[in-house]
A and B are shown apart, each in its own frame.
Chain A
Amino acid sequence: GESVGLHLPTLSVQEGDNSIINCAYSNSASDYFIWYKQESGKGPQFIIDIRSNMDKRQGQRVTVLLNKTVKHLSLQIAATQPGDSAVYFCAEIYDYKLSFGAGTTVTVRA
Chain B
Amino acid sequence: DAKTTQPNSMESNEEEPVHLPCNHSTISGTDYIHWYRQLPSQGPEYVIHGLTSNVNNRMASLAIAEDRKSSTLILHRATLRDAAVYYCILRDDVNRDDKIIFGKGTRLHILP
A, B co-complexed: no
- B-side residues, CB < 8 A to A, are none
- A-side residues, CB < 8 A to B, are none
